[in-house]
Each structure stands twice: as structure tokens, then as C-alpha cells.
Structure 1
Amino acid sequence: MYELPETAPVRVLFVDDEENMLKSLSRVFMDEEFEVITAPSAREGLRILMETEDVGVIVSDQRMPEITGVQFLAQVREMFPETLRIMLTGYADISATVDAINRGGAYRYITKPWNDEELVQIIRDAVNQYRLVQENRRLTEIVNKQNEELKEWNENLKVRVLEQTTEIRKKHENLKELNERLRSNFKDTVTAFSRLIELGGKKRHAETVATLAMNIAQAMGVSAGEVETVHNAALLHDIGELGIADAILKKDLSEMTPGELREYMLHAVRGQTAIDAIEELTPAGVLIRHHHEHYDGSGYPDGLRGEAIPLGSRIIAIADFLDRAIQKLHGYTAIDYGLRSVAAELGKKLDPSLYESLRKFAKHVYYVKETDTRKLGEVEVGIAELFVGQVLSRDIYSGTGLLLLNRGVRLDVVKIEAIRRYYRLDPPPHGVFVEV
């Protein structure tokens, strides 16, 4: 029987123009099973790739002279498409992160400064994924070889088919698990982008709009795939506002100068452009482009009217309008005010057919969001006092305002470790609030 060849050693290439950074990375991974190679520039990294076999993972810094990390990863993608590409970037380089995913086909991005344990686990996962893909290729070669042998060994046909089927089933299960992991990573990336967008101050706006929009879409009977597209588009509907001055974004439309208003009105198209190259998000980009179209045709950017506006865009528009109307207020009075504001725009800015679905879910969504946690009973504890089973009574934000976990989440071992890690990396000025 044809035997599976031994797995070749996988090499990981780190590219950074700072020598101290490369030395630090080499120390972090000195005890790992894979071999670490370093390059002080993108050009040297390309030379190493052309001369070295089994480089399965590349980790590149974004800010390098001559050739940036995005440009480097884009070249690697063309020359070595099977090699997994990871970008090292700072929170300030959001545009570079988007480019790394769009142009360089980045598998993951890692923000600086990193946590050593988390970095090691990410690289291990990438190495394992590369090995799985290579192993699947070798398995295909085995299947082809066995098909030729079956013609000569008819007496052993049943046994051989059973062996082959077992092998394929195992590999299929592994590939299925890999696909699920990739899908989970994709969802996590969309969520991460939405949280970065909200660092400007609109905390939970995207999340609330996404929750409302998803419920309305389900009530309208759209397919599961379309519901997910609406949800992703709602989470990212304001991504085009990145790059617009805060002084403009803090104004109401009526307060903007004509020049400021023209700049602001570009954000819907910019939002579509920012994510269009990501195949899985292309349909969401269409919804983002049209979420400021008005039902009566007076909106932008294309002046669409009525049902010519995509249904997902109309759903996001009515959810966005409601949340903006009441996001600075609290309680049922605010919800009623917001719904009255929506009702006043039906047939003008908003689709009348969506109002009943919005009204059906609005009070539940905002009641859960705005309930005074003091009525539940809560206590502030340090991260060392957390234990499995506790329930968060307030949202957890990092020191720089990034939403980490929502209120109502029940803690387990994984979530507790994540909280402790973030409190070390980006600590807020208080402890964790839990129900008692």
C-alpha cells in the first residue's frame, strides 16, 4: 500500500526592519517545533522565499521602508498563494489592515503591542492550518495512486475501498472543522471592525442597529443568507465615516456647511468601496451604499426611490434612524419618542412597510439595553476575583473604549482569561461589574 510521506518541517518567516523586534520574536518562538526565519526587509524576505522550501507562514510588519507590509503581502500572494500571511499593525493603521485583507489576502492581523501567549497560539494555528492543507494535497496524490492499483488488485478491492473511505472521511471532517474556524474568524473580524469604528464615541450604535435590522429582516421572511448579509452591513454601515474629521461627525446635518455636507455624504460610497474587494462582504457593501437613500427618492448617493432601494438598505435605514433619534436618551419614553420620529418619516425617508416589524422589536431591544443595572444588584470586583458562572451586570470596555463583552454574559474559563488579558493590555480605570 502507498504510504503517506512524512510531514516536512514548516518554517515561519518574520519580516521587520527593526532588528530588536526580530530578535524578540525569535526568542518568543525558540521552543516551538517549527523553524523561525527572519528578514530585515521585504526584499530580503522575497529572496528567502524564493530560495527556501516549506515556508508555510509569513508575519510581516506594516511600517517598513521602500516596500510596506501591504505591498509585500500582495507580492507574496501572487508568488506563493498557499503560504498563510499575517500582518503586524497598530490600532492606528486601520486602512492598512483593510488593505492587508483586500490586497494581500491576509489570514489574520495582529495588533501591537501583542500578548506573547496569544501571538504564539495564533502562529501555531496558522502552522497547523498550513500543514492540514499540505496533508490534504498529499492525500489526493495517495487517492490517485490507489485508483491505479485497484485495477490490478481486484481481489482486495473491498478492503482497499474501505480504507480509502475511512481516510477521506477523516480528512473531510478536518476540512469541515477548518472551514468552520475560518467562518468564525471572518465573523470575529467583522465584529472587530465595527468596534473600531465606534471608538469615536457612538458606543453600541452599530451593534444595536445590527440587532434591530436582523430581527426585522427575519420578520420580513428573507433567507438566512440574506439575514447574515443585512447583519454584516449593519455592523459596518458607518465604516465610510473613518477619515472624516470628528468636528464634522459631531454636527447634525442641519449644522454642516455645504462643503462639510458634501464630504459627509461621500461616506456611503466610501463604505462600499472599503469592503468591496472582500468577496464575502461584497453584497453587504451594496446595502451600505444605499442605506441613506430615501423612500421618496430624496436621499443619496444615487437618488433611488421606493422598492428600487435594496430591502436590506431600507431595513438598515429605519433601524439607524431610530437609534440615532434616541441614543442619548433612556427608558420607554425615549423609545416612544424615537418611534414617533420614525412614524413622521414614513413614506418620506423610510419604508412604511417596515414600521410594524420595527415597533415589534424596538422596546424589547432597548429595554434590554437600557435597564438600570442597579435594580439587579451588582458589585465591582477585581480581575483576580472573577470565577466561572458570574454574570456581567455592565458592558466591559477596554481603557481606550473598545467593547470587549456585553452585559448579561455568563463567564466561563475562556472569557475570564480574555478579560484578564485585556485588563493587562489596555486596562480601564475600574474593575468588573457582576450581578449579585
Structure 2
Amino acid sequence: MNDTTKTSASLLLVDDEPSILSALRRLLRPAGYTIHSAGSGRAGLELLEREPVDLVISDMRMPEMDGAKFLEQVRARWPEVTRMLLTGYADMDSTIAAINRGEIYRYVAKPWDDNELTLTIRDALERRRLQRENAHLLALTQQQNDALRELNASLELRVRERTAELEEANGSLKIANDKLKQNFVVSIKMFTGLMELRGGAMAGHSRRVADLARRIAQHLEIEGKALQDIFLAGLLHDIGKIGFPDALLNRPVVRMNGEERALYRKHPVAGESALMPLDELKEAARLVRLHHERFDGKGFPDGLAGLAIPLGARILAVASDYDGLQQGTLADRRLSADEAKAMLVQSRGKRYDSQIVDALLEMLGRPKADPNRGQEVRPADLRSGMVLARDLVGRDGVLLLAADYILDANLIRQIQDYARRDAPALVLQIRLDTRVVPEGT
């Protein structure tokens, strides 16, 4: 409590014992309060009618009118005055009545502790000061809101009048005005267009990803700003590739060499950096940075895992890869929609959040059953001449070998080395009609 509040506070002490009043005055006078006193509840009420008071301290046991009745009348007539009660331990029933009827701020047991009482009074006055300030701020806010509503109503009326005049002069201006409201989204689409002008597999990718990501988000009942951020991040998720050479843009990830892949892994951070200066795009920029994180923690750039990855980024990962698999930007060949879905299902809980994959499948339908699913074979049991029934996908989600690939001894050794090094639980799907080449032929 500041000095102004302390010196301006006015206290009323009510007790039928002069010695109690004297003791309270001696205790409280050094604090700079304005102190009034009354020897009965009736006298206290009369004083309140004449003098402004911030806080009343009343004894419980008084003749004619006890503290409970007195404080009840104070609450009814001067509700803004803070009320405190002095009471003995034998008066608990009366104290409870006073709390219920008089809505007192605090009761203090006799004999009181001087330090505790002064602190309680100081806290009560500070609370009252804050309540006053809050009420003042609420009133001021209401006044400002009323003024703003009046101003908005006036502005809306002027806009309508002006719009009507412009429509009479030239109907085409209405279309321009409607488009003006969408300037922000149009600007974002313009950024996206810079990438799509490069052609190749990039053409239309960002728009398709943004649309699919928004549909998945809506399916998951995401709304408002979060939904808009996911849509904008979908449009801009590849903006960090704007400096890539054409050859790299059109090369599937699986065919990139080490240097190219290192450059490729930098594009999420570059995209975030490009978008961060715009306040409206800060959350979308964060999703752009993290849309290559993997659910199992093996993604980039930050190695986040599970629910530590923002939901929007997990949605973008599924939407982007679903389109990229069909456009040939991830795998060695373009996959059909069913093949792309099967790839996502194969990486559920590893590369992708299972919830997001399931949401996409609920929207687009599950992949048709593969009649050539074949049998499961571990790397140690592979034999030359075996034919892959399904694509072999690496731990980072990259296609290593496509379905229908015929294995030879050299390739089997490479697969076995890869399994020992990076994927001990690896299992391959081999066609049932495989014709195994005998060893040594």
C-alpha cells in the first residue's frame, strides 16, 4: 500500500469498553490513519452517516446491538466499507452469524497480537484500494468500449454510405473491395506462387498440401486461428527451398547425395527465418520449421518426438508426404493414391502420428488390400531371386527399394548390413510365387 493510501484511510473503532478503544487508537495512530471511535453500534451508525469511513472494526459483545447486528446494518447501508470483528473464543456461534449476515472481511480473536492486527488492517485496506481501482478501470473500460462502439457504428455507417456511392459510380469497385479483404491470404498465395513458377513436381504441391492439411485439421475439430495457421503453413511449407537449384528441386529425396541432402535438411529452418518478420505468420513459421520432425524423434531440424511436435506440424507431415509420394518428390517413382496411403500406414507411430494418419484414411478411404502381400521374411533369411511384394522403406521414411524388385546376392548383403546397423527389427514382404535361385548358380 502506498503512502497516499495509508494516510487517507479512515477507520471506525466500535467497542463499549473505553480501554479497548484507547488500546486500538494507540496501536493504529502511528500508521497515519484517520481514526473515529464509537461506544455502541448505534453511535457507530450515526457516525457513518456523517463521516466517510474505509474500514470498521467492531467488538462482538456490546449492549443493545451486538457486533453481528451492527455489521449486518453496515453491510446493508454501506456495502463498500470493509468490516472486521473483534471476538473472544467463547463467541464462535455469534461470530459465525456475523460472518454470514455481515459478510465480514476477517475476525480477530481477543486478546489480539498487535503485529498481526496491524498487518490484517493493512491488507484489508489494500484490498479495498484494489477493488476501487478495479471498479474505476472497469468503468473506464466500459466508457471506452461504449465510445468505440459509437465510433465503429459511425464508421460503419460512413463506409456503407461511401460504398453505396461507389457502387453507383462503378459496380466493379465492389469486387475490388471484396478482394481487398482477402489481401493477406492473396499475399501468401503469391509467395507460394514464387515456388510453383519453378515448375516440375513443385507445381501445385503447396496448394494441395494446404487444402489437405486444412481438411484433416477440420476433421480433428481444429478451429479459428489454429486452423488458419495450419492452412498458411501448408501454403508456405516449402518456401525455404526457393534458393534450391532446379536440378535439386526435381530430384527425389531418395536419389540425393550427401551434400544435396544436407542442403535439403536446411530448408525448414530457412523457411521459418523467411516468415518470422511477419507477426501474423509467427505460428505458421514454427509449423514450417517442424513439419519434417518424426513422431519417433528421428526427424529434423530439432529431433522432437511424439506430442512435443506441434499438432499442426504433425498434420503437415502427413499431408505433404501424401502428396509428395504421388508426385515423385520422395520416392524413386510416382506412387498411386493407394500406394501412398499404404506407405503412411507402414510408418504409423514411427514417422507419423497414428492419429493423423487415421484421420486422413477416414477422409480419403483406406488403401485397397494388396493381393501380392506375400510372406514376411527377415534379412538373414533372404535368398537370391526373391521378389519384394511391398516397398522397402528406410528408418527416415525414404523409399529404399520399390515393390517387384528382384533381389540378388549383392543387394541382400547390403540389406543385411543396413538391418544390423540401423534396423534390427526389419522385416521384408516377399511374394509367395518367388522363384529362389539356388546358392552357387
TM-score relative to the length of structure 1: 0.42
TM-score relative to the length of structure 2: 0.41
Larger radius of gyration: 2
Higher relative contact order (CA closer than 8 Å, sequence separation 6+): 1
